[in-house]
Each structure stands twice: as C-alpha cells, then as structure tokens.
Structure 1
C-alpha cells in the first residue's frame, strides 16, 4: 500500500488547529522556557511538559522538525531495505508521535495490513496530545496507535516489534539510562532500530555510542553509514550530520518568533537491521554516502564521501567528478548532502 499523500500537510493542519485556541503570549512563554531547558547540559534538568499548554507549545515548536528528521531517517532505511514493511512499530519516548507520522509517510498503512503501533512515553500530557493529533489523520495506522505511559530506560525490557524508533530521546537521559534503553531497543527489534538525535557534536556522539551498542548486539548498519565498521571521523574534530528543510506555517513562525517560511533541521541518525537466521540482511548499505554539501566547480563536482566495505573501518574520500564522465557528472550535479553515491566517480583522492 502506498504511503498516504501529504501526511506532512495533515500534521501541520492538526497542529494549527491546536494552536488556534492557545493565546500567543502563553505559547511564546512556554516555548522560551522549554528552549532554555532543552539547551541546558544536564539531562536531569530537561523540563517536564507540565500541562496541555506546555505540550501544545512544544509540539508547535518542535514537532514539524522532528517529523521531517524522523521521516528522512526512516526513508533512508526504506531505500536500503525496500522489502522491509514493518507490521509492528514501537516508538520509545515518542511524546506527541512525530515518528508515528513519519512511519506512515514512509510505509503507509502497510502492505495488506494496518501497522500496529505503540508509543511509550513518561509524560501523560504528551501522550494525550499525540492521541488527539492522531485522531485527525487519514492513516489507519496513525489513528490506531496505542499511547501508553511508561518509564523510559528502566531495567525492564521493551515490547517486541518489527521496528523500534528512538528519536530525540537519548539527550534527555543520563548515560547509564541511555545504555539500558539502547540495549533494550536492540533486544526488542525484530527487524530494525532507528535512532535520531540533534545534528550537534553531542547528538552525534550519542548516536555513535548507540551505533556501537547496536552492532555489539548483532545488528548491522544500513544507513547512513555504508559499513558497520568504526566511524572514520576523528572524535571531537568532526561529526556526521544531515539536514532537512522544514516548512513553517504562519502559526509556526509566530510561535518560533521567526520570519522565514522555512528552517533547516540538522540531525544525526543510525538505522540498523537484524540479520536473518542464515546471516543475510534485509537490504544492503550504499557504496558511499555524501557527507557534506557537494561543491560545484567549472566542469566538475567535488563530493565528500564516506565509504568502506561492511565489517571494515570506513574511509573518507574526496571524489572529483568531471564533465568527461557524463553519467556520473550528471548524477553528481543533482546530488545533495546526505544522498547515497553508487556511481563511478571518475577519480578519487584520499581525504585526510
């Protein structure tokens, strides 16, 4: 079954309906308080969403961006594993449900079935708002999602599901709790785990940490990395992240205090899959991925690539694609940051 059309527009309309009844000053004040808390360095200091007004303000401020980032990460997984069609989805720390909508945008309601989705979160106001938003969707999978209050990262396990998502959650947890949560997500996932964090050095650090634990648990990376070996980036000197453009409604601009009709959300992520009993994977990583914005020069395109065979340490390469290699050159001119790259580049130089 094809994904529902314009699910992002459905979500924006649903959010606009919620904001319509919230005084702008109340929304702006809640957003300022939430921003101050989320920018703090202490996970224990992340503010609790106290009431409906807080949750509505948070959803208006962050949900469009977290939806786009989660949709990009899930889309990358679907691209590398085109036969993967999760019948069950567990969204851990899902809050108002951005990843639930993103899964519907990626796989629709499932091939011949309605995907069974469970959202776990510790904040009841967030779950209540997520449930309210979901009721407005045309997607049966979104409408049928179960919203369940539960502690996150405790010693208990998680319900089993084909797909487990953990988006924008790890940064709110102390290190030992993060570790328990990632290990539990790996154990619960029948097919795949997708983890998304902000595209900051700290967010990337949490993703790399989680990536290592997923690999240790027997999963293999399909995206964004073209391998399951060690990340070739020098720790502390660089970080792997990507960006998606987020459209802003007039109400969204009002809450965020901005004038532009869009914003760019930077994010880091990892999508890992469980091998079949015979060791085969339900997909394959790309030959390489573009990790910086392509640079257009006269008669050539410069691509910064992460490459490397599965099981070995990846490498960073600067690919110079020239006009004389016409198919690759045309592909390079159309390529974007975050895209996969499987063309013959027409010449590579190792990048230190």
Structure 2
C-alpha cells in the first residue's frame, strides 16, 4: 500500500501547475464545506480544472488513506475473496480506485462514474502513473436519482453522499446494492457523515446484505442517537497546500471517516471493534469496544492476560478485538 500511496503523491506533485495559490485556496475553502455535508446539491461540485486540481491536491491523499483503511478492515472480514470487478460511484479523480488496487493485487475491470468531466479527465491522467489502472473506464453519469449501473463484484461509494439530496442518497445506495456483491460506503467522520453511513447501512441490510465491517453484527447500532457517532481515523501526510489552507505546521494529520462494508455472501466480521483510542495505564489497557452482543463496553486488559496484554498495548482505534490469533480475556 505504501508504494501505491507514494505513486499517487508523485502523480499529484505537479497537479497545481498553472493554478495560482489564491485560486486553489479559494476552491479548497468552498470544497471543504461541501465535503462536510453543509451544501447538498444536484449539480456537480467540481466545476473546472482549477477546482479539480485543488480537490486532487488537497483531498485525494486523505480520501485514499480513509478508503484504504476501510478496505483493509473489510478485506480481513472476507479472507481469500478478491473482487473480480470494481465500480466506483461518484469516484471523481479515482482515489477509491487507487485504494482498491492497493488492497487487492492484480488487475480487474474498473469503471469510475462521476458527473464532473474535469474530474474524470484528471483521474485518467493520474491513473496513467500505474500500469494496473491504465485501462480503467472513466464515464460521465448523473449521480443521484435515476442512476443505473452495471453489475460489479465490488461497489465503492466514497465521499459522495454528502453532495446529494436525501432522495439522491437513497437512490445511489439502492443502485450500489442492486449492482454489487459487496458495497463499501465511506463518508467524513462527522456526526452528519455518520448519519449518512447509518442510513446507507440500513438500506443495505434491507436489501439482503450482511455487515462485514466495522460492525461486529448486522443488528441496530448500539449508539444512542445524538449522544455520539461511530468514526475512525487514518494518518495522512500533509501537502504544502494542506499547510497553506489550515495554517498548520505538522507534517501529518488524521483523516476522520465513517464507513460501512457489506456483502451478499457470508463474511467473518470482527468479534468486537475498538471504537476509541485505547487508554494505556500502568499495567493495564482500557479498550472501548462495539461488541457482537449489540452493545458498547469497556474492557480492561492487564498484565495477567499475558500475550493478550501485549496485543492490547499494540491495538489501535478501529482494530478488531481480540486479534485474530488471540482469545478473549478471561
């Protein structure tokens, strides 16, 4: 995955050539509001080359990191399964397509659908940096009500539902469900993003899908509405544009995201999922878990648990628990 991430960053290195810093900054500020779900619309968000260049340089590495993280957890729940084809709905410049390639080796038929021709054009240009992505089909389509798509083993819908009206979101999720054997939906890790993922999750279950990740079950979410939201984080290197827009000095930031992965075929979800950063104490680790019993729980793992304690010290937010090679604490 690191090699493909480096290849993506290299392909993006010159994407802002010819676009002024002021123009790029203005486009990014507008896009930030869109991707936080503040301005749902029925028209393309990426309007021209400058918008697309700003989006790709600012958002594509973060989207790639978040989708890669979600796909990695999904892949763990479907060991041995490899998608034979991939459909990316609302894929823009193709970050999810890069993430799928990083998760499963080899080539496969891929179609990226988006309503912004400039985004598709830049996606095609960037994909030329990877041999396995050179034959991707980049097709213009209206993303929303009335969307009709071809069947695919894997359908991804990442960072697009927030751009749509409520009816448009339902239509896109239903189209993904009708086309895919597996569907992965990723949204920003905000309360609104989580609500969109939760609604997509419900529609997928109603369509006959089984939840593979992050949830350890396909029942109702145990979070009391309005009290919290389920989200995770992926570490992403900050570009010069990130630092310019946010005025930050750190070389990295954590991309917060919410997601759901579901399949029409049997899967092996985690026994439980770490839903907060583990808290390390002297001789013990506190883990906040979402458990298969449809509940949230805090588990304390101590030195007396031996190897499990070592695993707990290495556990991270979003990880399955216990690790696949460990038993539950007594």
Per the shorter chain, which TM-score range?
over 0.9
Counterparts of 1:290-329 in structure 2, within 5 Å, are 290-308=274-292, 314-329=294-309
Post-superposition offset of 1:250: 3.5
Checking the alignment, whether the CA contact within 8 Å between 1:37 and 1:46 is kept in structure 2 is no
Q: 1:25 aligns with which of 19, 22, 25?
A: 22
Checking the alignment, whether the CA contact within 8 Å between 1:12 and 1:249 is kept in structure 2 is no
Post-superposition offset of 1:46: 7.8
CA distance in 2, matches of 1:87, 1:78: 14
Checking the alignment, whether the CA contact within 8 Å between 2:44 and 2:116 is kept in structure 1 is no
Q: 1:115 aligns with which of 108, 119, 136?
A: 108
Corresponding pairs, count: 327
Distance 1:40 1:108, change over 3 A: closer
Write out per-residue CA displacement over residues 277-319 of structure 1, whole angstroms, 9 at most, x where no aligned residue: xxxx1x300111100010111111110111115xxxx111111
Distance 1:240 1:158, change over 3 A: same
* Match in the other structure for 1:152: 143
- 2:270 aligned counterpart, secondary structure: coil
Post-superposition offset of 1:224: 0.2
CA RMSD of aligned residues (A): 1.8
* Match in the other structure for 2:6: 9
Q: 2:70 aligns with which of 57, 69, 73?
A: 73
Post-superposition offset of 1:53: 1.0
Post-superposition offset of 1:258: 3.0
* Match in the other structure for 2:183: 193
Post-superposition offset of 1:136: 1.5
Checking the alignment, whether the CA contact within 8 Å between 2:37 and 2:163 is kept in structure 1 is no
Does residue 248 of structure 2 align to residue 232 of structure 1? Answer: no
Write out per-residue CA displacement over residues 124-173 of structure 1, whole angstroms, 9 at most, x where no aligned residue: 11111111111122x41x22111000011232431100000000011111
CA distance in 2, matches of 1:330, 1:155: 51
Choose 59-68 or 46-55, whichever is displaced more: 46-55
Checking the alignment, whether the CA contact within 8 Å between 1:31 and 1:58 is kept in structure 2 is yes
Write out per-residue CA displacement over residues 70-129 of structure 1, whole angstroms, 9 at most, x where no aligned residue: 1011111111112111110000000010000000110022xxxx2110000011111111
Post-superposition offset of 1:249: 3.3
Post-superposition offset of 1:49: 1.8
Post-superposition offset of 1:61: 1.3
Post-superposition offset of 1:8: 0.4
Post-superposition offset of 1:50: 1.9
* Match in the other structure for 1:181: 172
CA distance in 2, matches of 1:48, 1:227: 35
Counterparts of 1:25-44 in structure 2, within 5 Å, are 25-39=22-36, 41-44=38-41
CA distance in 2, matches of 1:262, 1:150: 34
Checking the alignment, whether the CA contact within 8 Å between 2:216 and 2:292 is kept in structure 1 is yes
Choose 331-340 or 26-35, whichever is displaced more: 26-35
Is there any run of 5+ residues in structure 2 with no aligned partner, and where?
A: none
CA distance in 1, matches of 2:248, 2:101: 29
- 1:272 aligned counterpart, secondary structure: strand
Is there any run of 5+ residues in structure 1 with no aligned partner, and where?
A: 276-280, 348-352
* Match in the other structure for 2:318: 338
CA distance in 2, matches of 1:65, 1:117: 21
CA distance in 2, matches of 1:40, 1:306: 26
- 1:206 aligned counterpart, secondary structure: helix
With the length of structure 2 as denominator, give the TM-score of the two structures.
0.94
With the length of structure 1 as denominator, give the TM-score of the two structures.
0.88
